[in-house]
């Protein structure tokens, strides 16, 4: 699913467009025991609850594609009875009406979701009559397919922070009553995918709040799909490869990493012009080697990083922009500006020295003689009337100025 397809589904998550026919849930305590299960007709919820639950559904499809949102495929050979895929298919077909099936799935989530503390499981069901879209992206009223899907969201539930508040029944300021509050979505998925504006039963769209350490165990053991690395994981892995090869952090190694990021950015610019804006730029091991070489790394370090790169990205090569560090690029811009300013200061200092004749000790001399480069060779010193003098020959067609006045 791309951003455009995701946004088309998310446009339904508004008060006037929402068509969730059913929402069910399960509240789980820290001992991984079901405290409460519930079932709601979504459109009958009170306004405040309606908007809060809608906000959770919306968050389950939010973030950056490839980082917070990952399309995870199912292995066709694993789409068998009793598998995660089979359970999702049956949940979808039942429209979340089968209580026994729901309990089975809640237990599956509880067993596979690695989390310490209380959490809330929510499942939504919706059907979308996909309108026909013209070549110029205009939506027609006609429907060509029905997209029948479910959303599963898991939210941590934590005690509210202690504090003071007004206790109206006692008319005094006292300790606030602490209660259990549902937090932002931690992990979620949408099944099936809405790929090319059509139902894709062989993939789901997973959401993760934590892009450094997503709940891979939940993807594999509960959903039963394959896994992918987030852009954050790929970028961190690449930076670790550089750190291992370059050694301890020094001013030199920091500048090397900035050079690498700048050369990676330049590579993306060139490839984008060659392939076009919409074409993904896959970063090959040889591309990495070229970028590192252009950044001044030794052959030994280039080979080490390239080998680690091939090993880490053995199953799927990254997109070039996934390894691009925007913060490093900004730091590099500041570094280049700083270097330009340094060169400018050197130039201005030299010009000032030439104009004023400031000595190396920073003192102003008593006498300053300024002549053209051609004339400099003919300037000499001589003793006149017992005093050392500077002798500058003046030709008939030449002008002579003293303290700004022509003589």
* Residues 5 and 197 sit within 8 Å (Cβ to Cβ): yes
Does 279 fall in a domain?
Answer: yes
Same domain membership, residue 85 and residue 193? yes
Q: Which residue has the higher pLDDT, 306 or 407?
A: 306
- Boundary (domain end) residue, out of 228, 260, 291: 228
Same domain membership, residue 245 and residue 120? no
- Cα angle, residue 400 at apex, residues 397 and 401 outer, rounded to 5°: 150
Structure tokens at 353: 């020295």
- Cα angle, residue 272 at apex, residues 267 and 276 outer, rounded to 5°: 165
Residue 276's pLDDT band (boundaries 50, 70, 90)?
Answer: confident
Same domain membership, residue 66 and residue 32? yes
Helix or strand holding residue 43 (H, E):
none
**Where in the sequence is the domain holding 248, given as residue range(s)?**
238-324
Q: What's residue 162's pLDDT?
A: 85
Q: What's residue 136's pLDDT?
A: 63
Structure tokens at 173: 């300021």
Does 54 fall in a domain?
Answer: yes
User: Shortest CA distance to 125 belongs to which of 98, 149, 93?
Assistant: 149
Q: What's residue 88's pLDDT?
A: 96
Q: Is 174 helix (H, G, I), strand (E, B) or coil?
A: strand
Whole-angstrom CA distances from 285 to 54, 66, 318 are: 44, 20, 10
Q: What's residue 361's pLDDT?
A: 63
* Residues 157 and 182 sit within 8 Å (Cβ to Cβ): yes
Same domain membership, residue 249 and residue 178? no
- Boundary (domain end) residue, out of 228, 259, 278: 228
pTM, two decimal places: 0.77
| Total tally of structural domains belonging to the chain | 3
pLDDT of residue 18 exceeding 70 = yes
- Cα angle, residue 138 at apex, residues 132 and 139 outer, rounded to 5°: 40
Same domain membership, residue 175 and residue 309? no
Same domain membership, residue 223 and residue 242? no
Same domain membership, residue 149 and residue 85? yes
Does 180 fall in a domain?
Answer: yes
Residue 387's pLDDT band (boundaries 50, 70, 90)?
Answer: confident
Does 364 fall in a domain?
Answer: no
Same domain membership, residue 187 and residue 216? yes
pLDDT of residue 79 exceeding 80 = yes
Does 138 fall in a domain?
Answer: yes
Rounded to the nearest integer, the mean pLDDT of the chain is: 88
CA–CA dist 287, 9 (Å, integer): 37
Span 346-362, pLDDT tens digits: 666 666 666 666 655 66
Q: Considering only 33-42, 186-195, 383-392, which range has the smallest mean pLDDT?
A: 383-392
Same domain membership, residue 282 and residue 159? no
What is the average per-residue pLDDT within 236-240?
A: 93
Does 171 fall in a domain?
Answer: yes
Q: What's residue 383's pLDDT?
A: 87
Q: Is 141 helix (H, G, I), strand (E, B) or coil?
A: strand
Same domain membership, residue 106 and residue 42? yes
Verify cis geometry, omega within 30 degrees of 0, for the bond prior to 192.
yes
Span 20-69, pLDDT tens digits: 989 999 999 999 999 999 999 888 888 899 999 999 999 999 999 999 99
pLDDT of residue 141 exceeding 80 = no
310-331 b/e (C-beta count within 10 Å ≥ 16 → b): eebbeeebbbbbbbbbeebeeb
Whole-angstrom CA distances from 318 to 62, 256, 276, 310, 311 are: 22, 22, 18, 11, 12
- Boundary (domain end) residue, out of 209, 228, 247: 228
Same domain membership, residue 259 and residue 389? no
What is the average per-residue pLDDT within 257-273?
A: 91
Span 309-320, pLDDT tens digits: 999 999 889 999
Same domain membership, residue 268 and residue 398? no
Q: Name the most confidently modeled range: 73-77, 86-90, 127-131.
A: 86-90
What is the average per-residue pLDDT within 334-355?
A: 66
Residue 251's pLDDT band (boundaries 50, 70, 90)?
Answer: confident
Q: What's residue 143's pLDDT?
A: 72
pLDDT of residue 328 exceeding 80 = no
Does 111 fall in a domain?
Answer: yes
Does 46 fall in a domain?
Answer: yes
Residue 109's pLDDT band (boundaries 50, 70, 90)?
Answer: very high
- Cα angle, residue 329 at apex, residues 280 and 337 outer, rounded to 5°: 140
Give the chain's end-to-end CA distance (angstroms, integer). Answer: 83
């Amino acid at each position: 699913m791309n951003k455009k397809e995701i946004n088309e589904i998310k446009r339904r998550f508004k008060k006037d467009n929402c068509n969730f026919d059913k929402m069910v849930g399960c509240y789980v305590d820290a001992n991984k025991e079901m405290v409460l299960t519930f079932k709601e007709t979504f459109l009958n919820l009170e306004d405040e609850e309606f908007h809060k639950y809608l906000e959770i559904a919306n968050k389950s499809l939010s973030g950056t594609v490839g980082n917070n949102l990952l399309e995870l495929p199912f292995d066709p050979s694993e789409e068998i009875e009793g598998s995660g895929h089979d359970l999702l298919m049956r949940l979808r077909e039942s429209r979340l009406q089968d209580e026994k099936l729901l309990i089975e799935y809640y237990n599956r989530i509880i067993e596979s979701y690695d989390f310490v503390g209380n959490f809330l499981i929510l499942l939504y069901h919706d059907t979308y009559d996909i309108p026909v879209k013209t070549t110029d992206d205009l939506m027609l009223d006609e429907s060509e397919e029905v997209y029948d899907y479910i959303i599963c969201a898991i939210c941590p539930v934590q005690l509210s922070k202690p504090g003071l508040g007004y206790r109206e029944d006692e008319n005094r300021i006292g300790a606030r009553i602490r209660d259990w509050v549902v937090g932002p979505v931690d992990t979620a998925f949408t099944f099936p995918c809405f790929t090319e504006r059509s139902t894709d039963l062989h993939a789901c769209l997973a959401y993760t709040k934590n892009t450094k350490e997503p709940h891979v165990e939940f993807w594999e053991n509960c959903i039963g799909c394959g896994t992918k690395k987030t852009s954050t994981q790929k970028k961190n892995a690449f930076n670790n490869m550089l750190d291992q090869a370059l050694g301890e952090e020094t001013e030199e190694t920091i500048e090397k990493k900035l050079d690498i990021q700048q050369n990676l950015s330049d590579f993306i610019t060139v490839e984008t012009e060659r392939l076009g804006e919409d074409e993904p730029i896959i970063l090959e091991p040889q591309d990495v080697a070229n970028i590192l070489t252009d950044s001044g790394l030794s052959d030994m370090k280039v080979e080490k990083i390239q080998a680690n790169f091939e090993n880490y990205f053995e199953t799927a090569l990254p997109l070039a922009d996934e390894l691009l560090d925007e913060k490093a690029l900004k730091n590099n811009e500041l570094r280049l500006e700083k270097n330009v300013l340094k060169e400018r200061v050197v130039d201005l200092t030299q010009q000032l020295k030439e104009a004023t004749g400031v000595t190396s000790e920073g003192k102003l001399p008593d006498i300053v003689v300024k002549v053209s480069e051609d004339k400099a060779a003919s300037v000499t010193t001589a003793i006149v009337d017992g005093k050392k003098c500077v002798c500058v020959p003046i030709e008939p067609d030449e002008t002579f100025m003293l303290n700004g006045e022509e003589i």
